[in-house]
């Protein structure tokens, strides 16, 4: 019977094809794994090939072997004299040859299990890497991957925030990922990629694993450097004392910016799907006092109610895109753009906000525009300081390439940042004059709850010499 079984495997094309697929996939998996271990960086597609595609081919090959064998036996039973052949093979373990072959098959099965287990583990681990998330679908995820690499969370993998721990969210993410693969393959994905507001886990399950409320407390000094659009690019400084606050510390307990997350406070709000337009707020404090705020002409049925948490303000903790003004200010402050170039802030701001078809077109267009401005208005300077003008154009091209992605329709205002209120409505989505109770009590808008201005757009403010006398 063993002879018949081996014949059924080796004498039909389906089983032979399955054997060839399995062996080829096995050899390639082992070889590519060794290549990876000796330090060869093949990019995201090598990992996909090693831990996803080849294991699937390996499994398909293994499945084809018994299918081909069964089909062969069915064919043989239909032939003359094959009526006595059993539908399934019979193994006589009392036969020495049969036992030897069974040991060989058992050993091969162990190898298969080890290979599949290792590939499955590595495949799951690889699918949770930043490289897989950001580079596999490069054109689609380029904005998010670029922003992540420049963010404070650049060493935190995508899966730690977007999936977290637990099997339920892991399975959900893989199901969502399956549709995303189909969308990419069939070009069904939106441009730009929408922020996954409704698919994120609650902040206590992700953000608060590192940023628990009692950790970030007290006051913090922030100094901002700004350059005017006059000929001298006049430097102005703003110094803020941020009242971070925080619950459970005894330091202005329940006050400051983080009073919103105090355990003594419960805040719910109703907004549109994007959470940009807030219509109603329900506030409940520790003693059970409730207040209801709303704007005029509040829609009766639109929008959704949500309990406020970290991401309602920290909505861009990782995928941060700069605004053009602050980005240019930073480049001037860092020396990447020469401050003594006349009107360099004004012209940089004008040029960088133009729309270009690609990063390459942007670099060429920015350089041409900036050089033309100085050639037309400061001919001698343009000739004498051509290198400085070129360096400024290069810095602007760098700023453009990490913030603007024409292919995905990501522009300066695509993803508003709700921290503060300088670059978007941010705080004023809720803390606005029109948000009132039925008794006309206005929602709190005391600026000093969150910050104290030590200096506001001043040249050489005295407070800096006090804080840093050297």
pLDDT bucket at 469, cuts 50 / 70 / 90: low
Decide if pLDDT at 341 tops 50: yes
Range of weakest confidence among 197-211, 272-286, 438-452: 197-211
What values do phi and psi take at 306, rounded to 5? -150, 140
Q: What is the pLDDT of residues 221-262, one digit of tens each?
A: 889 999 999 999 999 999 988 888 765 544 444 567 888 877
* SS3 state of residue 326: helix
* DSSP per-residue codes, 179-247: HHHHHHHTT---SSPPP-GGGSPPGGGTGGGT--TTTS-SEEEEEEEEE-SSTT--EEEEEEEEE---T
* DSSP per-residue codes, 5-48: HHHHHHTSHHHHHHHHHHHHHHHHHHHHHHHHHTT----HHHHH
Across the range 114-119, mean pLDDT stands at: 78
Minimal CA–CA distance to 203: which of 166, 164, 230? 164
Q: What is the pLDDT of residues 353-372, one digit of tens each?
A: 999 999 999 999 999 999 99
Across the range 302-306, mean pLDDT stands at: 88
* SS3 state of residue 420: coil
Q: What is the pLDDT of residues 363-403, one digit of tens each?
A: 999 999 999 999 999 999 999 999 999 999 999 999 999 99
Q: At what angle do helices 54-78 and 96-127 cross, to 10 degrees?
A: 140
* DSSP per-residue codes, 55-73: HHHHHHHHHHHHHHHHHHH
Residue 134, H or E segment? helix 130-135
Confidence at residue 63, expressed as pLDDT on a 0 to 100 scale: 87
Q: Which of 24-38, 192-206, 441-455 has the highest mean pLDDT?
A: 441-455
Q: Give me the residues paired with residue 455 across strands.
A: 239
pLDDT bucket at 420, cuts 50 / 70 / 90: confident
Q: What is the pLDDT of residues 76-101, one digit of tens each?
A: 777 666 566 666 666 667 777 777 87
- Parallel/antiparallel/unpaired status of strands 278-284 and 235-243: unpaired
State how far the Cα of 306 lies from the Cα of 100, in Å rounded to an integer.
66
Across the range 52-71, mean pLDDT stands at: 84
Gyration radius of the chain's alpha carbons: 32
Task: Give the number of other CB atoms < 10 A from CB of residue 105.
Answer: 12
What values do phi and psi take at 87, rounded to 5? -65, -30
Confidence at residue 9, expressed as pLDDT on a 0 to 100 scale: 62
State how far the Cα of 27 lies from the Cα of 33, in Å rounded to an integer.
10
pTM for this entry: 0.76
Q: Which two tokens stand for residue 426?
A: 């941010």
């Amino acid at each position: 019977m063993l002879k018949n079984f081996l014949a059924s495997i080796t004498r039909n094309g389906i089983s032979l094809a399955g054997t060839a697929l399995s062996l080829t996939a096995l050899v390639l998996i082992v070889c590519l794994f060794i290549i990876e271990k000796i330090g060869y960086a093949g990019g995201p597609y090598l990992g996909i090939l090693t831990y996803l595609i080849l294991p699937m081919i390996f499994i398909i090959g293994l499945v084809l072997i018994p299918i081909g064998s069964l089909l062969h036996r069915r064919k043989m039973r239909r032939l003359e004299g094959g009526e006595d052949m059993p539908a399934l093979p019979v193994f006589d373990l009392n036969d020495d040859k049969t036992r030897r072959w069974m040991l060989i098959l058992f050993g091969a099965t162990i190898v298969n299990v080890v290979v599949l287990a290792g590939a499955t583990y590595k495949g799951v681990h690889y699918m949770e890497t930043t490289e897989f998330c950001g580079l596999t679908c490069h054109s689609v995820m380029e904005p998010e991957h670029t922003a992540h690499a420049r963010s404070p969370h650049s060493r935190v993998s995508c899966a730690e925030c977007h999936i977290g721990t637990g099997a339920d969210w892991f399975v959900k993410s893989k199901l969502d990922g399956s549709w995303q693969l189909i969308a990419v393959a069939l070009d069904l994905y939106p441009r730009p990629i929408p922020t996954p507001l409704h698919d994120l886990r609650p902040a206590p399950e992700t953000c608060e694993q590192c940023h628990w409320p009692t950790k970030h407390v007290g006051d913090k000094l922030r100094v901002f450097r700004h350059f005017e659009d006059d000929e001298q690019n006049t430097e102005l400084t703003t110094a803020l004392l941020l009242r971070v606050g925080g619950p459970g510390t005894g330091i202005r307990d329940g006050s400051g910016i983080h009073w919103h997350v105090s355990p003594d406070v419960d805040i719910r709000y109703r907004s549109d799907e994007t959470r940009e337009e807030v219509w109603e707020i329900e506030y409940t404090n520790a003693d059970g006092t409730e207040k209801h705020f709303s704007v005029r002409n509040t829609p009766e049925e639109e929008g959704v109610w949500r309990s406020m948490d970290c991401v309602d303000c920290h909505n861009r903790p990782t995928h941060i895109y700069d605004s053009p003004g602050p980005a240019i200010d930073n480049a001037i402050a860092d020396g990447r753009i020469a401050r003594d170039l006349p009107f360099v802030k004004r012209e940089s701001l004008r040029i960088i906000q133009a729309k270009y078809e690609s990063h390459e077109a942007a670099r060429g267009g920015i350089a041409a525009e900036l050089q033309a401005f100085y050639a037309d208005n400061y001919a001698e300077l343009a000739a004498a300081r051509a290198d400085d003008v070129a360096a400024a154009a290069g810095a602007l091209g760098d700023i453009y390439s990490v913030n603007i992605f024409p292919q995905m329709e990501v522009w300066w205002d695509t993803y508003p940042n709700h921290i503060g209120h300088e670059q978007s409505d941010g705080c004023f989505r809720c803390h606005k004059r029109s948000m009132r109770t039925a008794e006309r009590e206005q929602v709190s808008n005391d600026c000093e709850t969150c910050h104290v201005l030590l200096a506001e757009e001043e040249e050489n403010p005295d407070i800096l010499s006090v804080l840093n006398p050297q």
